Amino acid sequence: MLQVKNIEKYYGNKNQVTKALDRVSFDVAAGEFIAIMGASGSGKTTLLNCISTIDTISAGSILLDGVDISGLSDRKLAKFRRERLGFVFQDFNLLDTLTIEENIGLTLSLNHQNPKNVQKQVEKIAHTLGITEILKKFPYQVSGGQKQRAACARAMVAKQSLLLADEPTGALDSKASKNLLEIMTQMNQKMKATILMVTHDAYSASYASRVLFLKDGRLFNELLKGTRPRPTFYHEILDVLAVLGGDISDVI
Amino acid sequence: MTFSEFFSDRLRYIIFQAVFVMISALFLLLTGTQTGIVLLLFLIWLLLFLLIQTMDFLRCRAKLLELASILDGLDKKYLFTECIPKGRTIYERKFTELFRQAGMSMIGAVSDAEAAKREYREYVESFVHEIKTPITAANLICRMTDADTRRKLMQELSQIEAQIERVLFYARAEHPEKDFLISQHSLSELVAQAISQHRTLLIQSNVRVETKDLEQMVFTDSKWTVFMLGQLLQNAARYRSTHPVICISARQLKGQVELTVKDNGIGIPSHELSRVFERGFTGSNGRALGGSTGIGLYLCRKISSLLEINLQINSTEDVGTSLTLTFWTRENLTKM
Amino acid sequence: MTLSKLSFRNAKRQTGDYLIYFTTIVLAAALLYAFNGLTFSSELLTLSKFMETLPMMIVFASIVVVCIFGWLVSYATGFMLSRRSRELGTYLLIGLEKKEVAHLFFLENLMVGGFAFLLGLLLGNFLYQVLRAILLALFSCPYHFTLAFSLKAAGLTFTYFTFIYLLALFKSRWHIHKMKIYDLIYFDRQNEHVIVKNSKSRQRLFTFSIILGIVGTILLLMENALIGILGAGCIILFLYIFFLTFASGVPAFFDRQPFRKYQKQNLLIYRTLTAKLGTMGIVMATIALLFTATLISQGTGLIFWGIFNARSADKYCFDLYADSERPEGIPSEYLDYIEQNISVEQSLLYCIYQRESNEFITYLQKNADYYPYNQKDMVIRYSDYQALRSIAGYPNVTLESGEYLIHCQRYLKNTLKNHQPVIHFGETTLSSAGIHTEPFMQNNYTTGNGHGFLLVVPDDAVSALAPHHFSYAANTTAPVTEEQYEALDTIRNRVCENIDELYDSLHTEANEKATVASMTAISIFPLYFLAFALTMTAATILTIQQLAECRHYQTQYKLLQKLGMDRREMAKTLRTQFSIYYTLPAVPPLFISIPFLLHTANATEPGIMVGAFSPAMIILNTLLLFFFIYAIYILMAYTTLKRNVLPENL
């Protein structure tokens, strides 16, 4: 459902030009759980931004659900985003003036859904993700893990096809991270959510069924979990990272 | 650009104008000018103002539409800066001049890249052409040696020939349309050609080849298809098990013929199966065995999609691998 | 040396960031210079002897204005200071002493203030010319363009300006003195979480405040002054409680009807608004109060102007007029003086008679807004009437025998149209031949040409009637000068010294006009000066608050962009947010000031507030002017915010 074909991205700032992505190509099938790993500066956040239509690519094409998004107008892109994409960021990005329930319901409101049904739908997905108790609270009143779960709920409440996560466990402690990753696995398996996760953490990446490695803007390796258990996969990922020269492992 | 977009762009300017006019009108009224006169002035200003803004808007919109349509009509969109009009005002001209220079460097870069590629291909083609001579010579020299040496040398020479053929096809694979010749062929004939080309390799590897139901006619390019089949045979021979058997069979479907090349080799691990068609992918087997370039299946995939042949792969580790090619039996080839 | 360079750069940045605030300060200097320039202009002050009181009024107004602007500057500098906490913290961290930081800040404000002052002087010169032109037009004098610069006015403005900045500087000095490094650097973090107090009692207070407001407005409209003051107090209370509990009251509403939250962009608007109001409730209430004061002062100014204009218009018909209720008639002293000193073109000595019945008076009392100063209907002879019309410059009217005419004030025409009976004078019967309504000295209480109306009958019909009072009307070759009027007035004082009630009246057109112009100038100019200052201050404060939220809005809209909000919807949300934010402090003032102004306008005698000065028009003009200035600020703030806040990539 996602096809990335030879995309390039240049960043220009007066006289400085950086090539953030260099002919990256890959496909994602529906229901896959993919992780993109790379050090900071490897271009993974740029890649995510380009896929999520927030940023435009300098060359190549991206097809989401068969639609080439590089040619769409801003209005259509916005529509696309709110109907098909869900986001989970590292620093939560919940609006701090809204309650948790309202943050989740915001997506539905943006999609001009019937206001009467919004609360019900929010409660339903909150129940699935186990955050019903905090619905009436404000973001600053709940823990990091709960905030991330709320963000996941927001990303899925409108039955979006693709969930994009940018370092979701970046600001969580290990227990909350594990919790979140298990929830994401649950979302992937039970709710058939397609998840694209960007991370620098091998542990998080091991939850995915497929890991793409980015270095200096290029895809230099890919690992498939297949039928192997997660710990084995985790070790294989570490091996790849070791090959990279240890600069990623330092970040961990 | 809609009128409201144009308006919101100019909002500050319009506000300033409107405010100034209102204040002036008020001032005139307060200092004794007759209401009628002030009203008249105001209406005249309003009329002129609206007129000028509307004209500006229409002109801006026409310009944007024109540029959009130029871009739409271009196939090589980077030639845009050469095709747009220079602009009437000095501001526009300076603007387009900067873009023209940027576009110029882009056009140069593209054309340099294409030229380099063309030169490279031509070099490869001439290389292939040249290398045929020494290989033929080597073949002839082989005849004069003893049987054992001859056999070993011919094996190696056939490897060299296979690689060179692959190089040529790779170089040509970007623009194969120039090389296509679609006609009706018999599958058994094509398979026989492929087997014969790689006879040495198959014998060396102790591979038994079985064929079944190959009396079908298909529409395709014989040279490229034979090349593909050859690649499949090479792979089956390379990644073989102890008693290697390759089974080539065909069956008829509606309007199509499905050809299956099945072996009982070492198979491909499940987590690598979807990646075998990637350029340069050698996988764990390729590493274990050595000598793999990772190009063969990539070329097959490329060629099969150009020939509109459906290429599928299936494999189980330690059991075997099977590839299916689905050909058209009728003139259903649209993209050609 | 480096410190002043740093100050300079900071000053430049402050001007850029808070451009709207800077513009207001420039305008403040311009206003102060322009209005105070009037007090030093001998040309303008000698236009009429009433104008002598203008300087005093302007100075009063200036003092109030200085206080208001002083509040603005102190609020703004305090606000900006707290926003720059991290920067100040860094200064302290790298080793600057508090004294030096205070000095830095002082220099910076000096530069900004100085620059604003100079620009303001430049602008003020032009503004002064505008005021001068308006004033001269009021007195019907010609205007010649000059660009005179008044050093005295500049000096006075400078003094005022210093006072304005004084409070601000003291406050900030104290603030800097109390700063602690830790608090400064982590200032942002402290402000992150706005705790919205959401108790039940606050919600109840919210509803209570609304009731209070309605009660207050009703009380304000009562005739009684004491109750009116009570009403005003209620309203002030209402404003403060309303805005302070707004942040609790509104969420309660949405909690009860959650689906309303999710309609369109209500969610974002409502939450952002309550968050903002949670921190600036008091300021909002004060601003609402300022707006109320503005509207009332503006409206009152217009009402005064209307009253002055209308009252005197009635008396413009004759260049010179005098009357007396004494049985002897017009005192000869007047006539002697006039004959010796004033060149008269046409004059008439005549008598107004009263008839036996008060038929018309009763009718008018019942059917119109009419106060009967006299007991009997007033009558005039047709020949006198004709002569008066000619003196006043009106076209001739004919009267056949057996007919009578009514001459009345314009507002009574419609009522009298329905009442034109046949009247009897002895044996003569007269039927109505029409109504005329030109200004005719009919608003002079008991005398004049009848109060409100006058019956014009054929000369012989008055033979049986008793005279009510005697009048003298004339038109002169040149307008009666101020000295001549003074002289006549002195004579009048002498003549009427011993007689208490029957005080003669004396009017000249020239004097009336001069009085009106002066009174207008004296009342309107200070009032509008005040009104401008109030509006500008309030609007600037609202705008500073709004623009300071830039960063917060930016992150909010970036997130919304990622979630897939349309740019158009974003602009719409911003617009709605803006409208509500700016409407909130403007609505209660409307509800308070409109009834008040209507009430005041209707309190004057009838027939005054008509036409361009009818209550409806006055209110319309007040509102228009107020919203005009308000709208400029809003639009400027909107375009600035829109440009900075909406994500670029779209």
pLDDT digits (tens, 9 = 90+) for C32-72: 999 998 888 888 877 777 788 888 888 888 999 999 899 88
* Domain finish residue from B88, B106, B124: B106
Taking CA atoms, what residue in B is nearest to A71? B72
Q: Write down the pLDDT at residue C119.
A: 93
| CATH entry 2.40.10.120 includes domain A2-92+160-251 | no
A226 and B275 in contact by Cβ < 8 A?
no
Taking CA atoms, what residue in C is nearest to A158? C563
- Name the DSSP letter for residue C390: H
Residues A37 and A247 sit within 8 Å (Cβ to Cβ): no
**Measured CA distances, C541 to C80, C97, C273 (Å):** 12, 31, 16
Q: Write down the pLDDT at residue A207.
A: 93
How far is residue A102's CA from residue C254's CA, in Å, rounded to a whole number?
A: 12
Binned at pLDDT 50, 70 and 90, residue B61 comes out as very high
CA dihedral A121, A124, A130, A134 (to 10 degrees): 50
B70: its two tokens: 């130029």
Q: For residue C241, which of C275, C200, C218, C212 has the smallest C-alpha distance?
A: C212
pLDDT tens column, B10-29: 888 898 899 899 889 989 98
Residues in chain C with CB shorter than 8 Å from the CB of A82 are 563-565
Residues of B near C (CB-CB distance < 8 A)?
8, 11-12, 15, 19, 22, 27, 30-32
Helices (H) and strands (E) in chain A, counts: 9, 10
What's the whole-model pTM score?
0.73
Q: For residue A206, which of A228, A175, A188 has the smallest C-alpha distance?
A: A228
Rg (CA), chain A: 18
C445: its two tokens: 């209480």
- C354 plus C288 within the same structural domain: no
B&C contacts, CB < 8 Å: 25
- C160 plus C103 within the same structural domain: yes
Q: Which residue has the tokens 């993209």?
A: B335
* Domain finish residue from B75, B106, B137: B106
Beta strands in C485-615 (DSSP E): 505-508
Put simply, whether A81 touches B (Cβ < 8 Å) is: no
B258 three-class SS: strand
Mean pLDDT of C190-194: 52
- C129 plus C226 within the same structural domain: no
Domain range list for chain A: 2-92+160-251
- C182 plus C223 within the same structural domain: no
- B88 plus B192 within the same structural domain: no
Nearest CA-CA distance, residue A209 and chain B, Å:
10
What do you get for the CA distance between the two ends of chain A, in Å? 31
Asked whether residue C72 is assigned to any structural domain, the reply reads: yes
Count up the domains in chain B and report the number: 2
Residues in chain B with CB shorter than 8 Å from the CB of A228 are 271
Asked whether residue C61 is assigned to any structural domain, the reply reads: yes
- B84 plus B186 within the same structural domain: no
How far is residue B166's CA from residue B231's CA, in Å, rounded to a whole number?
A: 9
Nearest CA-CA distance, residue A17 and chain B, Å:
14
pLDDT tens column, C581-590: 888 888 888 8
Mean pLDDT of C229-239: 82
Q: Write down the pLDDT at residue A205.
A: 92
Residues in chain B with CB shorter than 8 Å from the CB of C134 are 27, 30-31
- C339 plus C432 within the same structural domain: yes
Q: Who has greater pLDDT, C208 or A250?
A: C208
Asked whether residue C386 is assigned to any structural domain, the reply reads: yes
C620: its two tokens: 């319309």
Q: Write down the pLDDT at residue C519.
A: 85
B207-216, C20-29, C246-255: least confident range: C246-255
Nearest CA-CA distance, residue B6 and chain A, Å:
17
- C141 plus C214 within the same structural domain: no
Put simply, whether C126 touches B (Cβ < 8 Å) is: no
Question: Residues of A numbered 206-245 whose beta carbons fall under 8 angstroms of chain B's beta carbons: which are they?
Answer: 222-228
pLDDT tens column, C552-561: 888 888 888 8
Binned at pLDDT 50, 70 and 90, residue B178 comes out as low
Domain that holds residue B69: 3-106
Please determine, for residue C15, whether its predicted confidence score (pLDDT) is greater than 60. yes
B148: its two tokens: 């054992």
How far is residue C459's CA from residue C379's CA, in Å, rounded to a whole number?
A: 10
**Measured CA distances, A247 to A171, A197, C253, C413, C568 (Å):** 20, 20, 55, 98, 44
Q: Residue C267: which of A55, A78, A109 has the nearest Cβ? A: A109
Asked whether residue B119 is assigned to any structural domain, the reply reads: no
- The CATH number covering residue B306 comes to 3.30.565.10
C359: its two tokens: 């038929």
Taking CA atoms, what residue in A is nearest to C569? A110
Count up the domains in chain C and report the number: 3
Residues A248 and A35 sit within 8 Å (Cβ to Cβ): no
Mean pLDDT of B52-66: 91
Q: For residue C539, which of C68, C140, C139 has the smallest C-alpha distance?
A: C68
- C514 plus C633 within the same structural domain: yes
Asked whether residue B336 is assigned to any structural domain, the reply reads: no
Q: Write down the pLDDT at residue B335.
A: 47
Residues in chain B with CB shorter than 8 Å from the CB of C628 are 19, 22
How far is residue C619's CA from residue C613's CA, in Å, rounded to a whole number?
A: 9
How far is residue C521's CA from residue C531's CA, in Å, rounded to a whole number?
A: 15
Nearest CA-CA distance, residue B305 and chain A, Å:
17
Asked whether residue B83 is assigned to any structural domain, the reply reads: yes
Residues B297 and B273 sit within 8 Å (Cβ to Cβ): no
Q: Write down the pLDDT at residue C197.
A: 58
- B99 plus B186 within the same structural domain: no
Q: Who has greater pLDDT, B183 or C611?
A: B183
Q: Write down the pLDDT at residue C514.
A: 84
* Domain finish residue from B62, B79, B106: B106
Asked whether residue B60 is assigned to any structural domain, the reply reads: yes
pLDDT tens column, B100-147: 888 888 888 888 898 898 888 888 888 888 888 888 888 888 888 888
Among C189, C193, C198, C261, most A C-beta atoms within 10 A, so best to mutate, is: C261
Q: Which chains have 3 or more CB–CB distances shorter than 8 Å to chain C? A: A, B
Q: Which residue has the tokens 């003074």?
A: C486
Domain that holds residue C461: 320-478
Q: Give the total residue count for chain A.
A: 252
Count the alpha carbons within 13 Å of C143 in the hemisphere toward its beta carbon. Answer: 20
In degrees, to the nearest 5, what angle opens at C-alpha A169 toward C-alphas A164 and A175? 140
Residues in chain B with CB shorter than 8 Å from the CB of C635 are 11, 15
ipTM of the complex: 0.82
Taking CA atoms, what residue in B is nearest to C633? B15
Q: For residue A35, which of A249, A234, A242 has the smallest C-alpha distance?
A: A234
How far is residue C433's CA from residue C456's CA, in Å, rounded to a whole number?
A: 10
- B87 plus B186 within the same structural domain: no
Q: Which residue has the tokens 């980077």?
A: B78
Asked whether residue B333 is assigned to any structural domain, the reply reads: no
B12 and C143 in contact by Cβ < 8 A?
no
- Percent of chain C predicted with pLDDT > 70: 95
A87 φψ region: left (φ > 0), alpha (ψ -120 to 50), beta (else): beta
How far is residue C170's CA from residue C177's CA, in Å, rounded to a whole number?
A: 11
Cα four-point dihedral sign C596, C597, C600, C606: negative
A53-57, B238-242, C108-112, C289-293: least confident range: A53-57
How far is residue C528's CA from residue C508's CA, in Å, rounded to a whole number?
A: 29
Query: CB under 8 Å, gap of 24 or more: what pairs does C83-88 form?
Result: C83/C548, C85/C183, C85/C184, C85/C185, C85/C187, C85/C188, C86/C184, C86/C185, C86/C187, C86/C188, C88/C176, C88/C179, C88/C184
pLDDT tens column, A97-134: 888 988 898 888 888 888 888 888 889 888 888 889 98
Residues C121 and C157 sit within 8 Å (Cβ to Cβ): yes
Residue B193: partners with Cβ closer than 8 Å, 6 or more residues away: B222, B226, B229
Residues C305 and C524 sit within 8 Å (Cβ to Cβ): yes
Residues C637 and C549 sit within 8 Å (Cβ to Cβ): no
A54 and C649 in contact by Cβ < 8 A?
yes
Taking CA atoms, what residue in B is nearest to C639? B12
Nearest CA-CA distance, residue B94 and chain C, Å:
24
Asked whether residue B259 is assigned to any structural domain, the reply reads: yes
- C352 plus C206 within the same structural domain: no
Q: DSSP letters of A177-209?
A: HHHHHHHHHHHHHTS--EEEEEES-HHHHTTSS
**Torsion angles phi and psi, residue C64, rounded to 5:** -60, -45
Residues in chain A with CB shorter than 8 Å from the CB of C251 are none
Q: Residue C562: which of A54, A83, A118 has the nearest Cβ? A: A54
The H or E element containing residue C111 is helix C98-138
